[in-house]
Amino acid sequence: MASDLELTPNSYITHHLTNLTTSVGEGPFWVLHVDTLVMSVILGILGMGSLWLVVRKATPGVPTKRQAFVELLIEFIDTQVKNTFHGNRHTFVAPAALTIFVWVLLLNTMDLLPIDIMAWVYENVFGIHNWRNVPTTDVNTTFALALSIWFLMIFFNLKVKGLGGWLFELFCTPFGKNPILWPLNLLFNVIEYVSKPLSHSLRLFGNIYAGEIIFLLLGMWAATGVAGSFFSAILGAGWAIFHILIVTLQAFIFMMLSVVYLSMAHESH
């Protein structure tokens, strides 16, 4: 912001919502959001790495406090998966759910860091002007996750039911086997397949993005004077506390939906 000599609400919000980009090829698609990628990879390594460090020395005897914590987390996830998914969950679905929950939770939690202090740190410590530190406010992240789940869904559909079984399901469910109903069934299923990743990703994105916008608006209010600073501090604290719930809840919902989609792919209607 130091470089923003003219500080208007517009420039303030634009500054906070601009990614650090780098071009990797021709055209508008071949652009990489460096901040999103770097933050999510760092957080992923942090999350999975710390789990790995604990789990590496896991003992069946009396567990250390850290191991007990990780066990709580894993058993929590495992219970959720067990209630939804009725196959051998340990080979893929449960660990995937753990990854999603931990990773998305960490990504969301970055939203709780005070935006302007972080912006100052990035500006003055790292010399980066535009740096968004919440990867889940980047629609690319949520779409990447949702589409990965979507492809896994199709993969498991093919793997469990075979191409024929899957096509049968596409054409003959949910309304019936009658050939007259085939187009209707197909239309219904296509809509379902399109809406799944959309709702899946946009729910997470919308919640976290909206949360960030609220923080930005409160930050702008703080710029109006002493009273504004006072109220924005109080409301910001309140919103942050409430946001702890949203952040966790959204990570949980995202994980649960992934598990539900994957188990639907494993089961015939």
Partner 1 sequence: MNINFTLISQAVAFSVFIWFTVKFVWPPLLRAIEERQKQIADGLAAGERGKKELELASHRSSEVLKEAKQRATEIITQAEKRAAEIVEEAKENAKIEGDRILVGAKAEIDHEVFAAKEALRRQIADLALAGATKILRREVDAKVHADLLASIEEELK
Active-site residues, by number, are 199, 203, 207
CB under 8 A: which stretch of 4-12, 133-141, 221-229, 245-253 binds partner 1? Answer: 133-141
Is residue 171 within 8 Å of 145, Cβ to Cβ? no
Buried b (16+ CB within 10 A) or exposed e, 195-221: ebbeebbebbbebbbebbebbbbbbbb
Binding test (CB under 8 A) with partner 1, winner from 12, 16, 98, 172: 98
- Our finding on whether 59 is near partner 1 (CB under 8 A) is yes
The residue among 133 and 232 lying less far from partner 1, judged by its C-beta, is 133
Sign of CA dihedral 226, 231, 237, 240: negative
The CA-to-CA distance between both ends of the chain, in Å, stands at 55
Sign of CA dihedral 132, 134, 139, 141: positive
Locate 121 and state its tokens.
């740190």
How far is residue 264's CA from residue 269's CA, in Å, rounded to a whole number? 8
- Our finding on whether 30 is near partner 1 (CB under 8 A) is yes
The residue among 74 and 167 lying less far from partner 1, judged by its C-beta, is 74
- Our finding on whether 126 is near partner 1 (CB under 8 A) is no
Q: Using DSSP, state whether 269 is helix, strand or coil.
A: coil
The total number of residues written for the chain in this structure: 269
Nearest to 246 by CA among 211, 197, 200, 202: 211
Q: Which residue has the tokens 């809840």?
A: 249
Binding test (CB under 8 A) with partner 1, winner from 103, 131, 156, 254: 103
Chain centroid, CA 26 distance in Å: 28
The residue among 78 and 169 lying less far from partner 1, judged by its C-beta, is 78
- Shortest distance, CB of residue 87 to partner 1, whole angstroms? 15
Site string for partner 1, 7-26 (x = CB under 8 A): -----------------xx-
- Our finding on whether 87 is near partner 1 (CB under 8 A) is no
Binding test (CB under 8 A) with partner 1, winner from 52, 69, 76, 242: 52
Binding test (CB under 8 A) with partner 1, winner from 85, 99, 212, 257: 99
- Our finding on whether 197 is near partner 1 (CB under 8 A) is no
Q: Which residues bind partner 1 (CB under 8 A)?
A: 24-25, 28-33, 36-37, 40-41, 44, 48, 51-52, 55-56, 58-61, 63, 67, 70-71, 74-75, 90-92, 94-96, 98-99, 103, 135, 138-141, 143-145, 147-148
